[in-house]
Structure 1
Amino acid sequence: MNATPLDLAAAFTERFGTEPDGLWSAPGRVNLIGEHTDYNDGFVLPFAINQSTTVAAAVRQDRLVRVASTFAPDEAPVTADLDTLEEGGVQGWAAYPIGVLWAMEQAGHRCPGLDLLVDSSVPVGAGLSSSAALECSVAAAVNDLGELGVSLRELATIGQLAENRMVGAPTGIMDQSASLLGEVGHAVFLDCRSGDSRLVPLDLEGAGLELLVIDTRVSHAHSTGGYAARRRSCELGAELMGVPALRDLSVKDLAEAAGVLDEETFRRVRHIVTENARVEDAVRVLTSGGPADLGSLLVASHASMRDDFEISCAELDTAVDAALDAGAIGARMTGGGFGGAAIALVRADDAAAVRSSVEGAFASAGFRAPVIFGVLPGAGAARTA
């Protein structure tokens, strides 16, 4: 629906028979570089985007949670009782918002009952973390309404716990951190082991650049097999190399790893090790130079995900190749893979040509037409009304 605040408040009143106590929004994210490094205790460099999920919320006098969506106005709200809610006790999309309240309570924070109405402009299944946007908007709402005083860093952990255990998706901490900690004109450099983060300048407009998101419209789902299989490969590689996590290996350790690991596990490990190095290189580039110098790192990241981690697909490869052919500075798939979106860093004057090239390549290949749009680094989760 992508409602205005007034429209969403009115829709809430129509659905639940009372006015909301407020509206809270949280953005999706683009991961500029650093894919699948998060659950390996590594480094990531995402940024919050200027598309968000908004939740209208009102406190109830009991311990029930009722969740509805503007995208399904005729469906009855999904209801859960916080006093009896168990891990895995909610199925479907409602597991994300209700899972946040369950995770809050697991972390020792008693939540009030809530009525929640969700609206979003973050594309679902495109690799822009619509799930984290939903989790973080609800986390911000319950934190305020329950006067819980939970820090943004802990809210990120709570969102991850909800996704891991209520939804069953083995994701890391990156998406929630970007959605909560993002600021306009900046990326978030996150150490996924310590949880420490810092903002890195990413002034695309000032550099005369645009970042295009190319949604291939090939849906992916993190709770299904490919993502989990890659995570198991990483855990196996760390175990066989005798380290707590792949974060603890450097590029110079790869020669030894080649002699210890089977061929497939080695390629999975090589992607993580080299991707961590690329994240640190990207931070140096943005700090000392600017985003126009990121091209080679983005291209190398995509090749690693395509060849070593094997999480790309024909549509993503076509998007990246067509963007580069049309003059993009750099391009790569973003997100968990197996579909979703690619990103292309382009000079503003080249944006139209890159769009046309990608659309033409998809048509020639017989793929569904992609959805292409620009994003800018935006603000993190906040109360909006």
Structure 2
Amino acid sequence: MPDQSPLPFATSLDDVYTPAALAHEGERWNNLFDSFEKEYGVDHKHLKVARAPGRVNIIGEHIDYCGFSVLPAAIERDVLIAFATSDPHPSFKGADLPAPSADGKTTFVLRNLSSKFTPTSFEVDLAGDGADLALPKDHHWSSYFIAGTKGILQHLSANAGTAPVTPPKRVLILVGGTVPEGSGLSSSSAMTTASAIAVLEVLGRRDGEDGVGRKDLTNVAIESERLVGVNSGGMDQSASVFSRSKHLLHVCFIPHLEARAIPLPKTSPPFSFVIANTLVKSEKKVTAKFQYNLRVVETRLGALLLAKFLGLPYTLESRPFPSYKTIVDAYFQHRGPTHGPIRSNSQRPEKLLRTMIGLIGQALGGPGLENGMTMAQVAQKLEVGEDVLAHAVTDREVEPQEGRYKIWTRARHVFSEALRVYEFKDILCRTAATSQRATPDADDPSKALLEQMGGLMNESMRSCQVDYECSCPELDEVVDIARRNGAIGSRVTGAGWGGATVSLVSEPDVPRFIEALKTEYYNKRYPNLSEQELADAVFPTKSEAGACVYQQSD
């Protein structure tokens, strides 16, 4: 279970990044400090920085909202929010700032290092519950910060929290980020999480007897992002908060949020994950009705059909609405105490999932129904009215092709992907246990190990392409180029239909691998990209540490 230990407080960047990442992060942080002083007239000694990293999902795509576990890692690309409650130096001659509040409220002044994000400010009663705090009617980058503020205040109010005796009259904020937008690396979650952290630190509630621990902070970040309209399953925020350097994070969601760090193996030579953004953005407002939202509905319909087939008492009125994971747990609990739910500490999750893969073909139609079923056909199987069923499972507009829901093939992906997560995790756990017992003259299993990991990533990609249909021509092209140029495994990461890929690459091959992607993909499709834009599009990453608060030591 995620612990309630306080978020780490760092005074050295050595505690924030791996050595490889630190080599190029120092200049960026210095620029943040210098820019804050120029923007606000406050010396960097008075600053604190809330840091929240983006994440890459190594394996486990589109199964978190079905209740199954995933294996993400934090990356060095992150959101930094520098903040101070000090007034500008008396000699400061910079731009006019909104005046501090005089009625017991606090003025937050928000500015961004990127000129495309316009400055803004808002007032809030930090002793209240956030009820008076409204998000902008038109979406603005500040929405994420305001949502994080509102989430923290709601949490403190609901848990009998207290604000500082004297809340600051003004908080100065400067934001910088390196998580590419629309890349599937969770830039919005990193922004919301960092915002919640900054407000928590301003309130003096990061640690201490009445501090908000990391588990509660994660839940606040999840709920805060939902205020902005992002229905997050919790993977992104968990990875941002709980990740550890040189580890993947096994995140489980049912019956409650769990996160366990799994060490990555040491291989000879070492390996890296390389992220390559296709630069194709899926416009969710336009495409969600026949992509993401439709997939959610297809899995809900499948869960209802599976429950009926297995004789489980789930109905349209069941709350929370049944997911594939809750159906599986209920089925094996019903069969007797020797089975039990699929949990992160279970000894038999792979066997249970393989059993279910055999059953879903019978329950959901199997081969011959790859083209799906109509809502009327599903309603007939469930013995309910079509309109009643449609209302129960579709909380957002969906548009299935030719009116058919591909329930069987979507389920085949979900269950096989859930199995791959456990297989990947078991490879890592077995390797960690074996390495502790290995003798100096033992054979190096690095090649076979990486081939196992890469093989599961490749299987995941094929399932995303064929069964879940969440790839696109550009993703397919990047994965193909990656495999032809040394990737041991390569797959889409994130929701898909654009966004990024993640590839497993031997570290000595990384420079040549990246150059091949630039030559064969970026230079052909995007010939006018600058060197910085290319560096932001394709880059190696190590699994990094999670979120923290930083203050420079004297």
Deviates more, 1:33-42 or 1:14-23: 14-23
- 1:71 maps to 114
After superposition, give the CA deviation of every residue in 1:313-358 in whole Å (9 maximum; x if it has no partner): 1111111111112231100010111211101101123324433443
Separation (CA, whole Å) in 2 of partners of 1:147 and 1:221: 39
Identity among equivalent positions (%) equals 29
Deviates more, 1:115-124 or 1:345-354: 345-354
- Give 1:144 shift: 2.2
Separation (CA, whole Å) in 1 of partners of 2:526 and 2:178: 21
Separation (CA, whole Å) in 1 of partners of 2:218 and 2:76: 19
Separation (CA, whole Å) in 1 of partners of 2:176 and 2:522: 32
* Change beyond 3 A, Cα 1:204–1:51: farther
Separation (CA, whole Å) in 2 of partners of 1:154 and 1:209: 34
Letter in 2 for 1:208: P
* Change beyond 3 A, Cα 1:233–1:204: farther
Deviates more, 1:111-120 or 1:172-181: 111-120
After superposition, give the CA deviation of every residue in 1:250-290 in whole Å (9 maximum; x if it has no partner): 32332123328736122222221111111111100111137
- Give 1:88 shift: 6.7
Residue 468 of structure 2 aligns to a residue whose secondary structure is coil
Instruction: State the aligned residue count.
Output: 382
Answer whether contact 2:306 2:364 (CA < 8 A) is retained. Answer: no
Separation (CA, whole Å) in 2 of partners of 1:251 and 1:69: 49
After superposition, give the CA deviation of every residue in 1:100-144 in whole Å (9 maximum; x if it has no partner): 111222324477674321101222211111112212222222222
Answer whether contact 2:112 2:119 (CA < 8 A) is retained. Answer: no
- Give 1:86 shift: 3.4
- List runs of 5+ in structure 1 lacking aligned partners: none
Question: Which of 295, 301, 314 in structure 2 is aligned with 1:236?
Answer: 301
* Change beyond 3 A, Cα 1:107–1:256: farther
Question: Which of 462, 471, 489 in structure 2 is aligned with 1:312?
Answer: 471
After superposition, give the CA deviation of every residue in 1:17-70 in whole Å (9 maximum; x if it has no partner): 545541121111111101121122110100011121110123476233332211
Q: Does 1:325 align with 2:484?
A: yes
Separation (CA, whole Å) in 1 of partners of 2:298 and 2:107: 40
* Change beyond 3 A, Cα 1:376–1:203: farther
Question: Which of 323, 332, 351 in structure 2 is aligned with 1:245?
Answer: 323
Residue 365 of structure 2 aligns to a residue whose secondary structure is helix
- 2:184 maps to 127
- 2:416 maps to 274
Query: Aligned ranges for residues 138-177 of structure 1 at < 5 Å?
Result: 138-148=195-205, 149-165=211-227, 167-177=228-238
Letter in 2 for 1:257: A
Q: Report the TM-score when normalising by structure 1.
A: 0.89
After superposition, give the CA deviation of every residue in 1:213-252 in whole Å (9 maximum; x if it has no partner): 1111112355651322322222222233226212244323
Separation (CA, whole Å) in 1 of partners of 2:120 and 2:37: 13
Separation (CA, whole Å) in 2 of partners of 1:207 and 1:284: 22
* Change beyond 3 A, Cα 1:215–1:11: same
Separation (CA, whole Å) in 1 of partners of 2:117 and 2:472: 36
Answer whether contact 2:120 2:142 (CA < 8 A) is retained. Answer: no
Letter in 2 for 1:379: A
Residue 469 of structure 2 aligns to a residue whose secondary structure is coil
* Change beyond 3 A, Cα 1:326–1:258: same
Letter in 2 for 1:41: G
Answer whether contact 1:169 1:223 (CA < 8 A) is retained. Answer: no
- 2:22 maps to none
Separation (CA, whole Å) in 2 of partners of 1:146 and 1:257: 52
- 1:265 maps to 407
Answer whether contact 1:5 1:23 (CA < 8 A) is retained. Answer: no
Question: Which of 483, 505, 526 in structure 2 is aligned with 1:368?
Answer: 526
* Structure number with larger C-alpha Rg: 2
Letter in 1 for 2:358: K
Separation (CA, whole Å) in 1 of partners of 2:172 and 2:267: 39
Residue 70 of structure 2 aligns to a residue whose secondary structure is strand
Give 1 or 2: higher strand fraction.
1
- 2:35 maps to 11
* Change beyond 3 A, Cα 1:199–1:79: same
Separation (CA, whole Å) in 1 of partners of 2:267 and 2:138: 42
Query: Aligned ranges for residues 23-62 of structure 1 at < 5 Å?
Result: 23-59=49-85, 62=105
Separation (CA, whole Å) in 1 of partners of 2:407 and 2:172: 46
Answer whether contact 1:168 1:223 (CA < 8 A) is retained. Answer: no
Separation (CA, whole Å) in 1 of partners of 2:231 and 2:122: 25
- 2:154 maps to 106
Separation (CA, whole Å) in 2 of partners of 1:7 and 1:353: 31
- List runs of 5+ in structure 2 lacking aligned partners: 1-24, 86-99, 125-129, 206-210, 308-313, 315-321, 329-355, 367-371, 374-404, 432-445, 528-533
CA root-mean-square deviation: 2.7
Answer whether contact 2:152 2:199 (CA < 8 A) is retained. Answer: no
Answer whether contact 2:461 2:492 (CA < 8 A) is retained. Answer: yes
Deviates more, 1:152-161 or 1:180-189: 152-161
- 1:384 maps to 550
Answer whether contact 2:135 2:143 (CA < 8 A) is retained. Answer: no
Residue 338 of structure 1 aligns to a residue whose secondary structure is coil
Separation (CA, whole Å) in 2 of partners of 1:201 and 1:207: 17
After superposition, give the CA deviation of every residue in 1:124-183 in whole Å (9 maximum; x if it has no partner): 211111112212222222222212311212211211212222x21222100010010011
Answer whether contact 1:185 1:201 (CA < 8 A) is retained. Answer: yes
Question: Which of 249, 254, 264 in structure 1 is aligned with 2:360?
Answer: 254
- 2:428 maps to 286
Answer whether contact 1:183 1:380 (CA < 8 A) is retained. Answer: yes
Separation (CA, whole Å) in 1 of partners of 2:64 and 2:54: 17
* Change beyond 3 A, Cα 1:204–1:92: farther
Separation (CA, whole Å) in 2 of partners of 1:187 and 1:335: 16
Letter in 2 for 1:377: S
- 1:183 maps to 244
Answer whether contact 1:25 1:137 (CA < 8 A) is retained. Answer: yes
Answer whether contact 2:269 2:507 (CA < 8 A) is retained. Answer: no
- Give 1:197 shift: 1.3
